[in-house]
Structure 1
Amino acid sequence: MQKTVCITGATSGFGRACAQRFAAEGWRLIVSGRRTERLDELIRELKTVPVHAIPLDVRNREEVTAMVRDLPEGFRDVDVLVNNAGLALGLEGAHAASLEDWETMIDTNIKGLCYLTRCFLPGMVARNQGHIINMGSIAGTYPYPGGNVYGATKAFVKQFSRNLLTDLVHTRVRVTNIEPGLAESEFSIVRFHGDKEKADTVYSGTEPLRPADIAEIAYWVTTVPPHVNICTVEVMPTCQSCGPFAIHRGS
């Protein structure tokens, strides 16, 4: 029986790779993103499977509610929700960071994820099956200079995922938090507000994770036996590790 996956932030990076990976297995797809031209391109690419594409800003609660309410026949029973929409903005210290950037990250990475989860979860619980896959980050565990609010939003994703598991323990609904480390996509270009040259320096001399790597993990966690839940996947490239504590030594 054909399954249905909903992927937010599907127009680039991890989201697009996830759409490609699930489509390769014949899944029915609901894909959303803010850039309509990229959604149109994605529909053309994934024409071998049923695709319902929706322009969506996950920060807008009314848009999210309407999207879920108005899903067409055949797409309403969502088996897997991939909460992928998210971003990092800026790398300044907390004393110099942009409040607008902070608000955008909180609204997208936390509130948007909550809106989608709350809208889809009742149906999963009623059917006693489903899977919430949240795209976290190792930044939610390991702090780094300039990570301030971005890392805090991903720490929220970690703890929210754990609490979802607790709320859903009486059901067969699964929850997975995927926590990538250094990964090259459009992530750093967005973080540096379109400065590609600056973004490229992040990956200089490394072999980072790729979107396809994360998509493979997202698909894999859905394929384990129904009684198995992969709670957390922390994944880094081999060139990365958690570093020592930062210590400032005064003169």
Structure 2
Amino acid sequence: MLQRLKLLEHINPGAAHRNVADSIPPPQLHKMSLPYNKVLVLGATSGIGLAYAEKIVEDGKKAIVVGRRKENLDAFVEKHGKDKAEAITFDITQVGTIPNFVEDITKRHPDLDCVLLNSGIQRGFDFAQPETVDLDVLDLELTTNYIAHVHLTQAFLPHLQKQSKQTALVYTSSGLALVPSVKRLNYCASKAALHHFLLCLREQMKDGPGNVKVIEIFPPAVQTELHDEKHQPDIKNGRQMGMPLDEFTAESWAKLVQGDDQIAVGMADRLFALFENTRQQQFQKMVEMMKGH
């Protein structure tokens, strides 16, 4: 044995004394995957919604993309194939048509287990000059960002609640739900309303029926068409404002697949640390106090 060790040292000095464990390759890290198999993505024609749809397909799941711009949706299906993607043209602001839309979707896709509500618009208003405020545009923004989400939630819940596995409602909210921007006051109000709605909805879902997870994503400003000068002329080069889309998508997706139900990124993450975590502790105290009432 001693002679063999000496021979090994002669051929490869130090090898004779190397720990056997050194030759064992490191364990392969398991890539985390979205726990849902078929995801309906509303507001998937561009920006964050489209980026998430790409991630869903990349994850090996099917994405049903929904929006108003048919050409964008069709391009997504053409890129990925009909076995991985499906496109549906629909305008969520037509809230009276939501029940029929949801009924059709759930009949054709009884295995739908996740709905991602991403649709949103942002406009600027200056009430110091009330004659410049277009209330029709304000109503459209509120409907798109909040009212339609509530209608969609109510319509999809019966389907999701009767599934035998965990299902999910995922909402794209905003860091501006926590701290508002003065000129975007209606947008901020709509996102704050959505945030409070989701805090309470999550509590209501805890005891069933079913196992519906309520997930809220809080983006910072992200480089998408949300800030385009076409709709917000006071913002110059709006598409360049904020966090790059791919950076936001990577960070938020990682938190989504690891199971977080509140996903704060960038500024929103800092706001959670500053005060939102404390505020939600007070909310939980309110929940306990109001039980039975």
TM-score (norm 2): 0.70
Q: How many residues align?
A: 232
Separation (CA, whole Å) in 2 of partners of 1:58 and 1:52 = 17
**CA offset at residue 217 of structure 1?**
4.8
Matches of residues 7-46 of structure 1 in structure 2 within 5 Å? Answer: 7-46=41-80
| Unaligned segments of structure 1, at least 5 residues | 243-251
Residue identity matched to 1:210:
P
Cα contact 1:91–1:146 (8 A) shared by 2? yes
Deviations 1:163-197 (A, max 9, x none): 111110013321111111121110111x74275x9
The one of 220, 223, 234 aligned to 2:264? 234
Tell me which moved more, 90-99 or 115-124: 90-99
Counterpart check, 1:174 vs 2:210: no
Counterpart check, 1:50 vs 2:87: no
Separation (CA, whole Å) in 2 of partners of 1:54 and 1:121 = 20
Instruction: Report the equivalent of 1:67.
Output: 101
| Unaligned segments of structure 2, at least 5 residues | 1-34, 272-293
Instruction: Report the equivalent of 1:193.
Output: 231
Cα contact 1:9–1:15 (8 A) shared by 2? yes
Separation (CA, whole Å) in 1 of partners of 2:125 and 2:266 = 20
Counterpart check, 1:143 vs 2:177: no
Tell me which moved more, 161-170 or 48-57: 48-57
Cα contact 2:40–2:116 (8 A) shared by 1? yes
Separation (CA, whole Å) in 2 of partners of 1:23 and 1:41 = 14
Instruction: Report the equivalent of 1:246.
Output: none
Instruction: Report the equivalent of 1:4.
Output: 38
SS in 2 for 1:58: coil
Cα contact 2:119–2:145 (8 A) shared by 1? yes
Larger Rg: 2
Deviation above 6 Å: which 4+ runs of structure 1?
A: none
SS in 2 for 1:70: helix
Counterpart check, 1:78 vs 2:115: no
SS in 2 for 1:76: coil
Distance 1:157 1:219, change over 3 A: same
Separation (CA, whole Å) in 1 of partners of 2:251 and 2:108 = 26
Separation (CA, whole Å) in 2 of partners of 1:4 and 1:46 = 15
Cα contact 1:177–1:231 (8 A) shared by 2? yes
State the identity %: 23
Distance 1:91 1:202, change over 3 A: farther
SS in 2 for 1:127: coil
Cα contact 1:4–1:79 (8 A) shared by 2? yes
Residue identity matched to 2:84:
P
Task: Identify which of structures 1 and 2 has the higher relative contact order when contacts are C-alpha pairs closer than 8 Å and 6+ apart.
Answer: 1
Deviations 1:42-71 (A, max 9, x none): 111222743221111101124322222112
Normalized per residue, the structure richer in helix is 2
Cα contact 1:93–1:148 (8 A) shared by 2? no
TM-score (norm 1): 0.81
